[in-house]
A and B are shown apart, each in its own frame.
Chain A
Amino acid sequence: MGQGILQIALFCALVVAVVPLLGGYMARVFSGEPTFLGAVLGPVERLTYRLLRVDCAQGQGWKAYARSVLVFSLAGWLVLFVILRTQALHPFYTGGRPAVPWDLSFNTASSFVTNTNWQFYGGETTMTYFSQMAGLAVQNFLSAAVGLAVAAALIRALAARRGGDAPGQTIGNFWQDLVRATLYVLLPIAIVAALVLVSQGTVQTLGGAAGGLARGPVASQEAIKQLGTNGGGFFNVNSAYPFENPTQLSNLLEMFLILCIPASLTATYGRIVGNRREGWAIFGVMALLFVVSVAVVFAAERHGTPAQHAAGVVGANLEGKDIRFGTTDSALWTAVTTVTSAGAVNAALESLTAIGGLVPMVDMAYGESVFGGVGTGLYTMLMYVLLAVFIGGLMVGRTPEYLGRKIEAREIRLVSLAVLATPLIALAGAGAALATTYGAPSIHASGPQGFSETLYAYLSQANNNGSAFAGYTGVTFADVVGGLAMLAGRFVPIVLVLAVAGSLAGKRVAPAGLGTLRTDTATFGGLLVGVVVLVGALTFFPALLLGPVVQGLTGRPL
């Protein structure tokens, strides 16, 4: 027990240590300031702009920015769909794999472009090396870069010191944010991480399957899969497989990669808006909710399941867990990958204890705002911040304001839509699957576990997480509805967030007065925790009761 708590504490300390460093670095990247990599990457960056024929000096208003995001994502989706449908023509090792069926291609393209990385397929038996490298891994980079870009745009809108005049109406240039996020943040870290993973035993070869071993260019994909909070495994069992995640060091590195950018973005935010305490306040709220998640799943997995007890097995729940990670690293990983939108797994989530399995569902129900995805987590949490400011303003009876900007009806309308869109999509999807006969063929288990599988599937896809109760299998209905849930769950909030950014960028900034509700204090942090838990988790409370909670109250095999 003490040993488990010690390693969780050390991991958290590691993350806290990197926040100011990486956060400060990303603040320079997204403010367009020179960085220590500029000497090498500067010429590459300028060449890219020339090839793309974009003029970065030209800022975009929110509508233009959103249009660029959507058009770029659509282009990526089409290319990925075509790659998956033409596997017979691919160079490199194909293993004779045929084209991916249309419904699975739809689901998978939607999944990777939206940073979800939900997988209704087993990577090593479905995909060619070219699909993995040039299709899926490219979107691992680009979907993360798009998330970072949108977050940068929102931060900039909140930081603009002068509102009202023309420059205040622009929120940055999408193409510049995209290129800088990829070149300065994602690619350098991925290169280093990939090589460390290979040193641990993660496979990196183009040699094809040999002697019954599925292999491939795994490390290069694994590094960005974690760093970009994507989570789509090269192998079906994802980061449980020794060729993806061979040692405890690789496991530690992968968890660190997942959290480093989402956590550090809070510091990036604090720096750019000119008050580091604002960033730390948000970090504190995220950290608190994260630690609670870890504690619950850690405690739950230290005991066996009712089925194990009934059979006379004594010990912790090691079903679907590998020895080198044990229950502690599996529990920590489960919380890390579900508060963020990573969705990678190193243990079978469906085999967790009922309460252990409840944790990832609640984590996702927070709307992936607790660290969340790369970029997406910060902007989702900022929507909750605006909501908390609004509620706080009502409580003290003043017009709510945030960072000197008045929060008015228009913003609150947009924020409410952004916050409610994902739960609506998740519950509608799960409802459609359960209320009709179409959802039934996907379900593997019976009773509350079958319900949990379905709920998990739509929670995960709507929130762009990607982890699964893996018994849930893909059929055409699940492929299509799931694909639509992922697309809506990604792009509806993005457009609304950018609309909020556009609206805030144009506002006059008033200095803080005596009655201003301060947002960099523990009191506000408490309010924010309340809002996230109330809005996020309680929306799903009835559904959670029917699945994992019923299961948890049932102390015997069904």
Chain B
Amino acid sequence: MRPGRDLTTAAIAIVLFTGVLGIGYPLAITAVSQVAFGARADGSRDLIGTPRLTAAKRPDPAFFQPRPSATGYSASATFFSNRGPNAASARAFYRHALAAYHAREDRYSPGLTDADVPVDAVTTSASGVDPHISPANAAIQARRVAAVRGIAPARVLALVAAHTDGRFLGVFGEPGVNVQALNRALGR
């Protein structure tokens, strides 16, 4: 094949592939998805973890609170905390996060030590909107939620259990409590 011939073929190929793979393929997948999966293809709110806030923009103690976020729980511009393993600023962040957790939970969980605080409650998630918290974290928060709402802890724990996503096939991943769905179920 002569060099000029290659150029023509390459040009036709790019145009053709862009049409088929760049327009045809995604549009076809979109059409099938919208018909077959409907709202799920548009993005489920339950996948996006954000805190329930009071009017003063403070975390509302009547609700379960998600993990710390590097992005302020942004669902429109995402990034990592990029906190290094040895960074002094990371140590300061964890100290602050620990203190905040104690301030929120100690009243309802007397004797809570640093070692009792689940690690997910003081580390930032990857996505910034992790919809889950660990079951241990949920168990501690459940005492507060029950006390603030004046309902039986057992009822809150039952709701927590109902909104705990297990491992896939009982093997893959880690179990987590979906804060979004749980808070919605708790209601006002």
Contact = CB atoms under 8 A, between A and B. Distances in A.
A256 to B, nearest CB: 11
Contacts of A53: 8-9, 12
B75 A214 contact: yes
Interface stretch (B103-111, B152-160, B166-174): B166-174
B26 A137 contact: yes
Contacts of B6: 67-68, 71-72
Interface string A226-255: 000000000111001111001111011000
A339 to B, nearest CB: 20
Contacts, number: 340
A307 B91 CA distance: 5
A403 to B, nearest CB: 29
B117 A313 contact: yes
Contacts of A137: 21-22, 25-26
Contacts of B131: 242
B120 interface: yes
Nearest to B37: A198
A12 interface: no
B147 interface: no
A213 to B, nearest CB: 5
A164 interface: no
Interface in A312-326: 312-326
B30 A217 contact: yes
A245 B149 CA distance: 34
A315 B87 CA distance: 18
B1 A313 contact: no
Nearest to A313: B94
A252 B71 CA distance: 26
Nearest to A252: B172
A322 B26 contact: no
Interface residues of B, number: 85
Contacts of A240: 80, 125-127
B168 A470 contact: no
Interface string B107-119: 0000000110111
Nearest to B22: A134
Contacts of A242: 47-48, 127, 129-131
A54 interface: yes
A292 interface: no
A449 B84 contact: yes
A14 to B, nearest CB: 11
Given A235-B78, A315-B118, A315-B119, A351 B83 contact: yes
Given A313-B114, A321-B125, A52 B9 contact: yes
B173 A325 contact: yes
A451 B123 CA distance: 24
B75 A212 contact: yes
Contact of A205 (B43, B75, B94, B125): B43
A267 interface: no
B41 interface: yes
Given A75-B14, A213-B43, A323-B132, A125 B77 contact: yes
A311 interface: yes
B126 A237 contact: yes
B94 A195 contact: no
Nearest to B76: A214
Interface of B: 1, 3, 6-14, 16-18, 21-23, 25-30, 32-34, 36-37, 40-45, 47-48, 67, 75-88, 90-95, 98, 114-115, 117-120, 122-134, 165, 167-168, 171-174, 176
19 contacts: A51-B16, A68-B1, A72-B6, A72-B13, A122-B78, A194-B29, A195-B32, A195-B33, A204-B37, A210-B42, A236-B79, A240-B125, A252-B168, A308-B90, A321-B123, A347-B126, A354-B86, A449-B85, A551-B84
Which are the 10 A-B pairs with shortest beta-carbon distances? A315-B119, A326-B174, A248-B173, A134-B22, A311-B94, A240-B126, A305-B85, A307-B90, A248-B168, A323-B132
